[in-house]
Structure 1
Amino acid sequence: MAMNLIDVETEYAKDTNLKKEDVKILLEWVNKQPHLPLTSELQVIFFFKKCHYSIYAAKATIDTFFTTKKLWPDVLLERNFAKSPLKPVLDTILYCVLPKTTPENYKIIFLKTINPNVVDYSFETLFKYLDMSCMLDLHQNGSSKGHLILFDMEGFPRAYVPKISTLTFKKYFHYMQEIMPIMELKGFHFVNVVPFMDEIQTAFEPGLPKSLLSRVFLHESVEDLMKHIPRECLPKDYDGLMESVAVLHEKTKRSLLENSEFFEWQDKQIVDESKRPNKNTTHGYIFGFGNEFNGDNESGFVHF
């Protein structure tokens, strides 16, 4: 089936700061780099916007993105929901981008445990699921001014708390904020907060960038949540005007399974280190972890 990606003209039309001549310069540069995969105009637009229309910054981010994919395959490659271990996760967790954006034009990434009796999935698998949902939405529905994460904690199993990896959180949220195209997190909202929420915060907050620590909100009620996210953006389950969680879950599963061609295309887009012009370039600090992750890998990027 066709990938049904959003038309580039839609992106140009909604952003007066986005100039075709700048995108052309960046696109020509990217596709002349022997170690980088063939990149589309749409992808270049997303990176250019992420980097606030800086060609110089976008070049570095594009290189980092395709390199990171090869360094962290557990999360960023082998993205086929028809194969284990991804397919079972679809029935236990819901990660989706809600259909309506906020008045600020923020997209809402919605997370909820569907089956609390299953706790044997890894965080790498969960982040892969999250990343696939966000990337598919970006390429099919276009960019926004930011993202909110809304996590319904009802049904979240306490047995999973010891499995929370601060290190994995740190890597993934750095990837989201600094490397992933377009993504800019504007806040975390937790609703139906569980009694052991303090244990969860202790485990995951050290992995958050400092800029996000002040944007974590705990909501004891839907009424309190609606002070931040309007009713028209929320599913019916939260007294909202959108489709129910059950409907969203089925639509998300179907979309991820039907768009295997998109994920196969993405899997092929990785760096070829054997063709990198300057193999002595050091990128050890680009992920923000200092020497902790520095390795002797050929590219100089940190090891995942």
Structure 2
Amino acid sequence: MESQPESHLLKLRKDTKENVRKIYNLDKPGRLEEAIKILQHWIQKQDHILKKDWNADYLDKTLIASKGSVEKAKKQIDRLCTMKTLIPKFFEVINVKKELPTILDLAMVMPLPTQTEEYYRVILVKIDTKEIKPEFFMMYFQYCLSVAEYIKTHDYANGFILVYDCRELNLAEVITKISTVELQQFITLLIEGYGARLKGIHIVSESKAIEMLINIVKQFLSEKVGNRIHVQRSIEDLPKVVPKGILPVEYGGNEKSIKELQEEWLEAITSEEHMEHLKVMYKACTDETRRNAGKFNEEYMGMPGSFRNLSVD
């Protein structure tokens, strides 16, 4: 095992980069470098994409998230930049610890330090609240996107396994309070913008409302990803789907406690370095007046929300 130099929070296996690149045929000498150069050249020619200086490391990870496809990587970059323009409320530069203390009392978002043997990153989300207010959801989405940007910058993974501990969450109230438009936009951001490739989504809950919530979420997922949602009735069931050794001690594993992990993550995503990074990346948006209108209509009319009402001159 070795830690990636940029972050002690996201450990990589010694052969992670080599083997993940091999999975997507990017391991041959010069192949990855060539793909990155093609992306950099393409970005320079896109008048509507305002950020031009995308570093090779970020593009490398975008190619991995796109299964080695340069064309899919182009689309992912374009989508993320466009969504920053169309739904900017998700991308407010916020110091989570100082500006969103309410949500931190309710939710913990913790990517676990150790990868699985297949190079997947497990992200544990623990939510402890029975009282739900509509404004909580946007706070939570902004919190998650700050973590997502950190992962995009510092991690190198084959994909993600999401674990939601909802034992203390009133799921019936979630269903009545959440905005399905914002939920769809958030899911689209993670999957189509950040390229989150999901191996599995595991929800720990005994609530009878869980199936109803899953049916809502599945409307915004492909059938393939939707079929990867599974309900675990007890935390004792988690080691069946996530290697026991990488789980926090509260879940029967050997990792630090969830309180320690959350504190470390909050320090990381509220650091001066990360806050400056957010300012730069959240400005990586588009000027839609410079985009071919026909191309915009073709690519984005089906996106969630009221995007179809946007006028592109």
Relative to the length of structure 2, the TM-score reads 0.80
| Structure 1 residue 154: Cα displacement | 2.1
Gaps of 5+ in 2: 27-31
Distance in 1, Cα, partners of 2:88 & 2:214: 27
Are the aligned partners of 2:64 and 2:158 in contact in 1 as well (CA < 8 Å)?
A: no
Contact 1:92 1:118 in 2 (8 A): no
**Conserved in 1, the CA contact under 8 Å of 2:80 and 2:192?**
no
Equivalent position of 2:176 in the other structure: 162
Which residue is 1:261 aligned to? 276
Structure 1 position 219, deviation (Å): 1.1
Deviates more, 1:286-295 or 1:59-68: 286-295
Are residues 156 and 30 of structure 1, via their aligned partners in 2, closer, same or farther at CA, if it must alter by over 3 Å? same
Judging changes above 3 Å, is the alpha-carbon distance between structure 1 residues 246 and 171 closer, same or farther for their aligned structure 2 residues? same
* Aligned equivalent of 2:115, options 89, 101, 112: 101
With over 3 angstroms needed to count, the CA separation of the structure-2 counterparts of 1:169 and 1:211, relative to structure 1, is: farther
Q: 2:141 aligns with which of 121, 127, 135?
A: 127
What is the CA deviation profile of residues 129-148 of structure 1, one whole-angstrom value per residue up to 9, with x for unaligned ones?
112212202312x2211111
Correspondence 1:112-151 to 2 at 5 A = 112-114=126-128, 116=130, 119=133, 121-140=135-154, 142-151=155-164
1:58 and 1:125 map into 2 onto residues whose CA distance is: 29
Q: Which residue number in structure 2 is paired with residue 25 of structure 1?
A: 38
Number of corresponding residues: 290
SS across alignment from 2:255: coil
Separation in 1, partners of 2:266, 2:116: 24
1:295 lines up with 2:301 in the alignment: no
Question: Which of 64-73 and 219-228 deviates more?
Answer: 219-228
Partner of 1:207: 220
Do 2:205 and 2:234's aligned partners in 1 also have CA atoms closer than 8 Å?
A: yes
2:64 matched residue in structure 1: 49
1:241-280 superposed matches below 5 A: 241-258=254-271, 259-274=274-289, 276=290, 278-280=292-294
Normalized per residue, which structure has more helix?
2
Report if the CA contact (8 A) 1:165-1:203 is conserved: no
Q: Over aligned residues, Cα RMSD in angstroms?
A: 2.9
Is the 8 Å Cα contact of residues 269 and 275 (structure 2) preserved in structure 1? yes
CA shift for structure 1 position 296: 3.7
Q: 1:227 to 1:47 in 2, by over 3 A?
A: same
CA distance in 2, matches of 1:167, 1:120: 13
**Per-residue Cα deviation, 1:260-293 (whole angstroms, up to 9, x for no partner):** 122112122111234x253442345547559985
Question: Relative to structure 1, is the Cα distance of residues 277 and 157 closer, same or farther in structure 2, using a 3 angstrom cutoff?
Answer: closer
* Correspondence for 2:87 among 51, 56, 72: 72
Query: 1:89 — aligned with what?
Result: 103
The residue number in structure 2 matching 1:111 is 125
Question: How far apart, CA to CA, are the structure 2 residues paired with 1:294 and 1:234?
Answer: 43
- Identify the residue that residue 193 of structure 2 maps to in structure 1: 179
Picking from 220, 226, 230, the partner of 2:243 is 230
Q: Name the SS for the 2:46 alignment partner.
A: coil
In structure 2, C-alpha distance between the alignment counterparts of 1:130 and 1:41, rounded to whole Å: 24
Could you list the runs of 4 or more consecutive aligned residues of structure 1 that deviate by over 6 angstroms after TM superposition?
none
Matched letter for residue 207 of structure 1: F
Task: Tell me: CA distance 1:210–1:171, structure 2 relative to 1, closer, same or farther (3 Å).
Answer: farther
Amino acid at match of 1:264: K
Aligned-residue identity in percent: 24
**CA separation of 1:217 and 1:264: change in aligned 2, threshold 3 A:** same
Give, as a single letter, the amino acid of the residue that structure 2 aligns with 1:238: Y
Query: For structure 1, which runs of at least 5 residues remain unmatched after alignment?
Result: 300-304
SS of the residue corresponding to residue 121 of structure 2 reads strand
- What is the deviation of 1:26? 1.4
Whether contact under 8 Å (1:94, 1:111) holds in the other structure is yes
SS at match of 2:295: coil
Hey, what's the Cα distance between the residues in 2 that align with 1:290 and 1:90?
A: 28
